[in-house]
Each structure stands twice: as C-alpha cells, then as structure tokens.
C-alpha cells in the first residue's frame, strides 16, 4: 500500500467546511412564476387518519391518465398474507398487470408502501418505504427499499400505500396534503427535472412556512431518467441543520424511468406534526425500551465496530480490499494499491461530522452521511458548491474502484450527478466498469464511443458519458440501456466475441450486479444470482459472513444461509425497516450466542417490536413464514412475467471465477492451490488454458450443485418453481397463482 497520507492536505479545507456545512450554491428561481404556470387538473378531498397498530386499512390509487382517485381497502387477508411494504406493492401490482405488460405500458404501476413498522421514531432504521414496479431492465417486478420521509408521512396522512397507474399526457405532479386532506394533480410545465433542485424547489413551494419544510417530502427522478432504462427515484427530507434537502434513493431496476415515462415530475407530500406514537402501537413501551437499548448500544459500540455514524457503509472499503473482495476494473480484481485514496479515513474527513444524519427520525446509526462543500468540475452545474449524499460503500466501489477511479472528489461528483440526474449509482458503476473493460479489450474504441476515451480511471470521460445520458445523446444513449442490452448490441454489431461479453457482462435477469467480488464466495454467487429481482445484495449479503467472518464453512451452511437470509431480509421490506441496524452493530456479547451471524438479540428486538405494534407475539418461524409467502409469491410473479426459472438464476462467469489470463495470473498461487486441493490435479503439468478450463468446470459445477441444494431447501423444483405443496402450505395457493406454476410442475411435484 502506498503512503496513506498522500494528498491529505487536499482535505484540510473540508475540516473548515465542517464548521459551515450550510454553505452551498443557492439556486434562485421565480417560484411565483413557476407556481403560476401550474394548472390544477384534479383535486380530491380525503379524511386524514392515523394508523391503528401500524395500519391505516386503506391505500390510495391514482390513475394519472383518467384522473381517477380512489381509496383501496386493506383487508385482513392482505395483512395476514402480505404484511405490508413490498408485500402490498407486489399484491397491488399483480392485479394491475398482465403477463404481457411491459414497463412502459399504461397499466404498469409504481406502488410505494411504507409497511406497518415504518414511521416509528424510537428504533433506528424505521422509516423505510418499498417501491415496486415492472422493471424496464428486467421485465419482472423490481422492489427497492428507500429512506427519506415520504413513506412515514404517507402513512400518517392515512394510507398504507400509494398506487399510481396510467400515463399522463402532460408533465404533472401529485400533491398530497395530509393535514388538510387534499390530493391534487397539477400540471407543472416549468420546473427543472434534476432532483437536487426540484426537490428543494417543491419543498419551498409547498411548505407553508420555513418551519414547515421538515413536513414535506418529495419523490422525483431526474433528467437522465428520461433517456435511459436505469432511472431511479429520489425520496427527500429537509435537513434542518444544513438548511437544504437531502435525498435517499430507490435505486435499482429503473423505477425512475417508469416514473418519467408516466410524465410524473414529482410526488409531494405534506404532513405536519410528526410524533413518536403516531403508529399507535398496542404496546408503545416495549418499542420505546427496545429503541433506547439500541441507541445505547450504538453509542457505546459503534466507534469500535463499524463506525457507521462517521463513515456510513463506506467503512468497509479497505476491509473489502484487504480480503480481495472490492470490485476493481469490472470485477476483474479484488484489491488495488490505490484503494487508500478512497478508503474510510477519507470519508471520515470528507463527510460532515457533528450533525445528525439519519434518513428518518431516530435513526442513530446515521449512515446517511453528507459530504458538503463539493465544487463541481463538470456538467451543467460546473462551478457550483453542492452537498453530496454519501458516498456509501456501493458508490465508492461502483463509481470508484470498479471503474479504476481512485479520486475521492471524482467519486463524489459522480455520486452527485447520479443522484440529481436520477440514475442508480450501483447500476451506473457496473455499466461503466463493463464499457471500460470493453474499451480495454477493443470491443469499444474511440470511434464506437463517439470520441470518449473510456480508459480505466478516466473519471472525466465517465462523467461526460453520464452527462450524455442526461442530454439524451451520443454513446450515453447506449450505456443507459444497461449491460444486458449492451452485450447484445455489441455482439450484433460484431464488435466483440459474444462469449466474452456474456462472461464479463455483470448482470443477471437484466439487472447489474452490485459491488462485491463474489469469485471466492460461493454463497454470495448464489446470493446474487438466485435473487428474485436480480443481483442486489440486499436479499442475501453473505460475502462478509462467508469470506471475512468464516461463518459458512460447509456447503450445507451456504445452502441454509440462502434459505434463511433472503427470508429474513425480505421481512425488513415487508415492515418498512432498514436492515443496517440489524447487523452493522452487534451486542457486546453477540459472539457468545448460538448462531452469532444471525445477531440473535437483534432478531429478538425486531420480533418484540413487531409483536408490540400488532398486539401479539410472533416467533422466528412465524417471521420466516410471513416472508416466505411474499418471497414465493414474487417468484411466481416472475414466472408469470416470463422469468423466474433456473435458467434465469444463471450467473455470469466473471462472478464465479477468472475469465481472462491476466485475472488468473494475478492470483495464480491461489488458483493453482485450488487445482491441487479441490480438483486433485497437478497444475505444474497443465497449461494456463487448461488450468483456466479446469477452474471453469469446477466453479460452474459447484454453482449448479448449490442451486440444486438451495432449490430443495426452498421447496422448489429443480427448475426453480415453487411446488404446489409449498404454495398450499404458505396459504398462497390462489387459483391465479396455481395457474402460473401448473405448466412448470411435473406430475411428481403437483
């Protein structure tokens, strides 16, 4: 490793910025003129109400084409089977679409649902919303778990979900006033699209006073969502101390693209008077005590554990590098000599400390760090001083190391533009890594990229590519289609070997991989490719358990983990919780507990709070069953939309092993040892090509075996289809569900 203090003086300015984190370029707009251009096209009154034991018992449906606004009942059956959040979203979406529905059909919906636990203020990570839609990238349901204040404010206005269908003919926004009880659909022709401006503008416009700004949350996308399939949604909250809006992202799968295709510019909610008991739980005291316990744990242990409060998830950058798990240059390598330039100590200095950074009240884990005082060097906002949210680990890995970029300021600028343009940082990171490797290998060149030199580490070209997406021009239009489509475009144009493109294109089901190098973690390979929505680590982030903590040593352990953890993690999305406070902090005596990797005391916390909200008691088995209903339902939903089978859980070889000679040679000692230990062969008697072929056979073979074991544990057929017995056992054997799986079930499984 080089000198970790090299270039440190560059950061002295940011210590100064800490004392003035309110300093940024102000964007001045004639708000009166913008507002005057609004045309109210629909206004509906509703009766605001508070939830009872976490539920409002109604959802809000808005068709932005027909302007129909109606309330949808939340029935006991919905509650029992789908719980809320992602479950409600999938259930509403199921009824809205047909097997032939694609992302840009009017019947496709965006459903935002906060979940019954969302909005409690006492336990860290309890303000989440889950957004569900048919993805432009995968053509199956995508679910994205997002912070920001929108979900809780929606629920405290009186709705368990917001369901938007149809396509508007003009640019519109929806405004929900949860105090006055009005839902307005307004044409809004003049507002700019980019989120850091739009969310601030609309917060000011719809707040009734300066103090009222904390009661506003805005959902918006950005100009790049208009010209790509990888658009994402920003959910805002007003940061009182900084005096500006902050953004959290529903990033994966292109929901922002759906949003903009519907010509939605924003959804604004206002709901004053947030207090800690608005969910009206059956037993507030249990939730309060559990919350205080975790606050104390974070206070005493976070500084010696994950340091989330100072660095957010970026605390693991150097850990990943040390374990050869950091994605470098399109997942070719797992570490890099320059990682120290984007390591956590940089973010510790670069993020403003001494302030509160939770994306919902009471989140004392506070990982939503803010890097203030960034002067932009490129693009339409060049020269402006801005606040950047994050960067999180995924952004450092994706926008940084995976593109060979080890310049912290460049990572921040990439992060800023991804957010404001409304594109997913993880997706963009893997897209750029792919096109840069294509450039390295001659699949792309200056002519094919329209003059962009996409060499590793060229952050200016990376940013220009992103600006092209936002402007809807040049090679950016191709990059914005995502890795899956690019692979086929490049192959069809004869630019590269289709086999190589399949190997190095890090996508599954059409979604780009998130930022962990899974070659040496079989469990994570499955954790990525055997997901419902595509390779996103929020379903099964097993790499740390597997590779760092060595908690999954056997094949059976890995298969069991791929049963338990996707269900456990699904539960967060059903309830409106964030999973980070589950295992990014551990009780001091966690290592003494049985199955410490499950963080048993924290599981007990969640079960206790869930019971306290509902007025009942649930066990781990109950929890797993709740999740399994939705998880299996989503699998069937995938099958209904044309995916969801074994072939769709196939992983690109880059995620499993060394594709290229240089990859092999860079870790030759490790790979040769595996040939001896795992395959019983003698590498000294094999050519490099033979050794690489032996690895490919071994690695793909064990992945297939893992697939068999995981499917069996999940009670799926070898083709990945939930069996009739399993669907019946879970109580989701509805006729329309059975109709989907019937053609795929051989008689033995019916």
Q: Which residue number, 310 or 537, has a Cβ lying nearer to other proteins? A: 310
Q: Which residue number, 214 or 385, has a Cβ lying nearer to other proteins? A: 214
Least separation in angstroms between residue 154's CB and other proteins is 17
**Integer Cα distance of 387 and 321 in angstroms:** 27
Site for other proteins in 222-261 (CB under 8 A): 240-241
Q: State the DSSP code for 547.
A: I
Sketch the per residue contact string, 195 through 214, with other proteins: x for CB under 8 A, - otherwise. -------------------x
Pairing of strands 58-63, 162-165: parallel
Pairing of strands 110-113, 129-134: antiparallel
Q: Which residue number, 120 or 374, has a Cβ lying nearer to other proteins? A: 120
Q: What is the 3-state secondary structure (H, E, C) of 384-412?
A: CEEEEECCCHHHHHHHHHHHCCCCHHHHH
Q: H-type helices in 158-242, by residue range?
A: 195-206
Q: Is 363 in the site for other proteins (CB under 8 A)?
A: yes
507 phi/psi in degrees, rounded to 5: -145, 155
Q: Is 315 in the site for other proteins (CB under 8 A)?
A: no
Q: How far is CA 386 from the centre of its chain?
A: 23
474 phi/psi in degrees, rounded to 5: 65, -155
Q: Is 92 exposed, middle or buried (0-12, 13-18, 19+ CB in 10 A)?
A: buried
- Contact range with other proteins by CB under 8 A, out of 38-46, 295-303, 425-433, 603-611: 295-303
Q: Which residue number, 192 or 276, has a Cβ lying nearer to other proteins? A: 276
Least separation in angstroms between residue 275's CB and other proteins is 6
Q: Which residues contact 571 (CB under 8 A, 6 or more apart)?
A: 577, 606, 623, 626, 627
654 phi/psi in degrees, rounded to 5: -60, -30
DSSP for 13-49 reads HHHHHHHTTT--PPPP--HHHHHHT-EEEEEEE----
Least separation in angstroms between residue 153's CB and other proteins is 12
Q: Is 670 in the site for other proteins (CB under 8 A)?
A: no
**Integer Cα distance of 142 and 641 in angstroms:** 12
Cβ atoms of residues 535 and 508 within 8 Å:
yes
**Integer Cα distance of 721 and 723 in angstroms:** 6
Among the listed residues 86, 260, 262, 309, the single contact to other proteins using CB under 8 A:
309
Q: Which residue number, 21 or 490, has a Cβ lying nearer to other proteins? A: 21
DSSP for 63-107 reads ETTT--EEEEE--HHHHHHH-STHHHHHHHHHHH--TT--TTSTT
Q: Which residue number, 288 or 432, has a Cβ lying nearer to other proteins? A: 288
Least separation in angstroms between residue 276's CB and other proteins is 3
Least separation in angstroms between residue 309's CB and other proteins is 7
Q: Is 294 in the site for other proteins (CB under 8 A)?
A: yes
Among the listed residues 33, 354, 591, 594, the single contact to other proteins using CB under 8 A:
354
214 phi/psi in degrees, rounded to 5: -70, -15
Among the listed residues 299, 382, 493, 705, the single contact to other proteins using CB under 8 A:
299
Q: Is 277 in the site for other proteins (CB under 8 A)?
A: yes
How many other C-beta atoms can be found within 10 angstroms of the C-beta atom of residue 607? 17
Q: How far is CA 107 from the centre of its chain?
A: 24
Q: Is 16 in the site for other proteins (CB under 8 A)?
A: no
Nearest to 440 by CA among 703, 148, 648, 663: 663
Q: Which residue number, 289 or 471, has a Cβ lying nearer to other proteins? A: 289
Q: Which residue number, 363 or 403, has a Cβ lying nearer to other proteins? A: 363
Among the listed residues 133, 364, 402, 674, the single contact to other proteins using CB under 8 A:
364
Q: What are the Cα distances from residue 209, in Å, to 195, 203, 204?
A: 21, 10, 8
Q: Is 15 in the site for other proteins (CB under 8 A)?
A: no
Site for other proteins in 88-147 (CB under 8 A): 121-122
Q: Is 292 in the site for other proteins (CB under 8 A)?
A: yes
Q: Is 296 in the site for other proteins (CB under 8 A)?
A: yes
Q: Which residue number, 288 or 405, has a Cβ lying nearer to other proteins? A: 288
**Integer Cα distance of 218 and 235 in angstroms:** 6
Least separation in angstroms between residue 214's CB and other proteins is 8
Among the listed residues 154, 174, 198, 298, the single contact to other proteins using CB under 8 A:
298
Q: Is 285 in the site for other proteins (CB under 8 A)?
A: yes
Cβ atoms of residues 368 and 34 within 8 Å:
no
* Total of residues contacting other proteins (CB under 8 A): 30
Least separation in angstroms between residue 354's CB and other proteins is 5
Least separation in angstroms between residue 164's CB and other proteins is 28
Q: Which residue number, 53 or 289, has a Cβ lying nearer to other proteins? A: 289
Residue 171, SS3? coil
Crossing angle for the helix pair 555-575 and 620-640, nearest 10 degrees?
A: 90
Q: Which residue number, 28 or 275, has a Cβ lying nearer to other proteins? A: 275
Q: What angle do CA 142, 463, 191 make, to 5 degrees?
A: 65
Among the listed residues 42, 295, 441, 471, the single contact to other proteins using CB under 8 A:
295
Q: Which residue number, 111 or 363, has a Cβ lying nearer to other proteins? A: 363
The secondary element (H helix, E strand) that includes residue 299 is helix 284-301
Q: Which residue number, 354 or 591, has a Cβ lying nearer to other proteins? A: 354
Q: Which residue number, 34 or 274, has a Cβ lying nearer to other proteins? A: 274
Q: Which residue number, 293 or 650, has a Cβ lying nearer to other proteins? A: 293
- Contact range with other proteins by CB under 8 A, out of 349-357, 417-425, 464-472, 638-646: 349-357
Residue 55, SS3? strand
Q: Is 345 in the site for other proteins (CB under 8 A)?
A: no
Residue 248, SS3? strand
**Integer Cα distance of 472 and 225 in angstroms:** 10
Pairing of strands 264-270, 172-177: parallel
- Contact range with other proteins by CB under 8 A, out of 287-295, 413-421, 577-585, 721-729: 287-295
Among the listed residues 355, 551, 700, 715, the single contact to other proteins using CB under 8 A:
355
Least separation in angstroms between residue 644's CB and other proteins is 40
Q: Which residue number, 137 or 215, has a Cβ lying nearer to other proteins? A: 215
- Contact range with other proteins by CB under 8 A, out of 257-265, 271-279, 493-501, 539-547: 271-279
| Residues pairing with 269 in the sheet | 176, 217
- Contact range with other proteins by CB under 8 A, out of 107-115, 359-367, 660-668, 694-702: 359-367
- Quote the tokens at residue 686: 């094999």
Q: Is 275 in the site for other proteins (CB under 8 A)?
A: yes
Q: Is 608 in the site for other proteins (CB under 8 A)?
A: no
Q: Is 693 in the site for other proteins (CB under 8 A)?
A: no
Residue 746, SS3? coil
- Quote the tokens at residue 152: 């809780």
Starting from the edge strand earliest in sequence, which strands make up the sheet with 58-63, in order? 69-73, 58-63, 162-165, 110-113, 129-134, 141-146
Nearest to 574 by CA among 59, 254, 161: 161
- Contact range with other proteins by CB under 8 A, out of 263-271, 289-297, 451-459, 592-600: 289-297
Q: Interface with other proteins by CB under 8 A: which residues?
A: 121-122, 214, 240-241, 274-277, 285, 288, 291-296, 298-299, 309-310, 353-356, 358, 361-364
């Amino acid at each position: 490793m080089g000198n970790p203090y090299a270039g440190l003086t560059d950061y002295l300015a940011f210590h100064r910025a800490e004392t003035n984190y309110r300093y940024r370029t102000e964007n001045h707009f004639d708000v009166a003129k913008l507002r005057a251009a609004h045309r109210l096209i629909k206004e509906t009154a509703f009766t605001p109400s508070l939830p009872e034991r976490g539920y409002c018992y109604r959802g809000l449906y808005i068709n932005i084409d027909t302007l129909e606004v109606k309330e949808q009942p939340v029935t006991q059956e919905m509650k029992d089977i789908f719980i809320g959040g992602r479950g409600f979203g999938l259930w509403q979406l199921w009824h809205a679409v047909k097997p032939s529905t694609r992302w840009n059909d009017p019947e496709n919906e965006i459903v935002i649902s906060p979940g019954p636990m969302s909005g409690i203020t006492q336990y860290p990570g309890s303000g989440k919303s889950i957004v569900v839609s048919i993805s432009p990238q995968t053509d199956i349901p995508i679910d994205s778990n997002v912070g920001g204040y929108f979900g809780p404010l929606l629920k405290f206005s009186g709705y368990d979900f917001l369901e938007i269908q149809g396509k508007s003919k003009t640019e519109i926004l929806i405004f929900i006033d949860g105090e006055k009880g009005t839902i307005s659909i307004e044409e809004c022709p003049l507002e700019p699209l980019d989120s850091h401006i739009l969310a601030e503008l609309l917060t000011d416009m719809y707040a009734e006073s300066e103090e009222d700004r904390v009661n506003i949350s805005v959902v918006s996308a950005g100009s790049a969502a208009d010209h790509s399939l990888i658009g994402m949604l920003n959910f805002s909250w007003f940061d009182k101390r900084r005096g500006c809006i902050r953004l959290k992202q529903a990033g994966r799968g292109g929901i922002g693209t759906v949003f903009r295709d519907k010509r939605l510019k924003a959804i604004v909610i206002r709901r004053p008077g947030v207090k800690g008991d608005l969910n009206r739980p059956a037993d507030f005291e249990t939730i309060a005590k559990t919350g205080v316990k975790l606050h104390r744990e974070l206070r005493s242990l976070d500084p010696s554990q994950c340091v989330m409060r100072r660095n957010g998830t970026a605390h693991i950058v150097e850990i990943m590098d040390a374990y050869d798990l950091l994605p470098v240059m399109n997942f070719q390598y797992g570490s890099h000599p320059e990682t120290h330039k984007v390591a956590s100590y940089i973010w510790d200095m670069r993020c403003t400390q001494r302030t509160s950074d939770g994306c919902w009240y009471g989140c004392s884990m506070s990982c939503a760090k803010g890097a203030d005082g960034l002067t932009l060097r490129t693009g339409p906002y060049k020269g402006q001083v801005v606040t950047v949210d994050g960067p999180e680990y995924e952004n450092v890995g994706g926008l940084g190391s995976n593109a060979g970029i080890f310049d912290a300021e460049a990572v921040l600028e990439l992060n800023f533009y991804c957010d404001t343009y409304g594109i997913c940082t993880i997706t963009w990171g893997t897209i750029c890594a792919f096109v840069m490797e294509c450039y390295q290998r001659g699949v792309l060149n200056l002519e094919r990229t329209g003059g962009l030199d996409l060499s590793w580490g060229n952050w200016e070209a990376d940013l220009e590519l992103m600006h092209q997406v936002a402007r809807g021009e040049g090679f950016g239009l191709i990059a914005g289609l995502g890795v899956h489509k690019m692979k086929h475009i490049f192959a069809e144009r004869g630019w590269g070997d289709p086999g190589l493109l399949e190997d190095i294109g890090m996508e599954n089901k059409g979604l780009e991989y998130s930022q962990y190098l899974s070659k040496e973690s079989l469990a994570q390979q499955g954790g990525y490719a055997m997901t419902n929505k595509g390779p996103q680590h929020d379903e099964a982030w097993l790499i740390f358990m597997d590779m760092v903590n060595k908690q999954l040593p056997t094949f059976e352990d890995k298969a069991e983990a791929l049963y338990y953890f996707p269900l456990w993690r699904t539960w967060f999305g059903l309830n409106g919780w964030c999973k980070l406070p589950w295992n990014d902090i551990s009780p001091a005596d966690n290592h003494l507990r049985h199955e410490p990797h499950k963080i048993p005391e924290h599981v007990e916390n969640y079960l206790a709070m869930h019971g306290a909200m509902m007025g009942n008691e649930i066990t781990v088995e109950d929890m797993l069953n709740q999740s399994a209903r939705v998880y299996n339902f989503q699998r069937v939903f995938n099958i209904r939309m044309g995916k969801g089978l074994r072939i769709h859980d196939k992983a690109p070889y880059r995620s499993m092993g060394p594709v290229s000679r240089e990859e092999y040679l860079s870790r030759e000692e490790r790979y040769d040892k595996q040939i001896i230990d795992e395959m019983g062969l003698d590498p000294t008697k094999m050519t490099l090509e033979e050794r690489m072929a032996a690895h490919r056979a071994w690695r793909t073979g064990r992945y297939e075996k893992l697939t068999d074991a995981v499917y069996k544990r999940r009670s799926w057929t070898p083709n990945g289809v939930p069996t009739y017995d399993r669907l019946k056992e879970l109580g989701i054997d509805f006729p329309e569900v059975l109709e989907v799986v019937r053609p795929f079930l051989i008689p033995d499984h019916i």
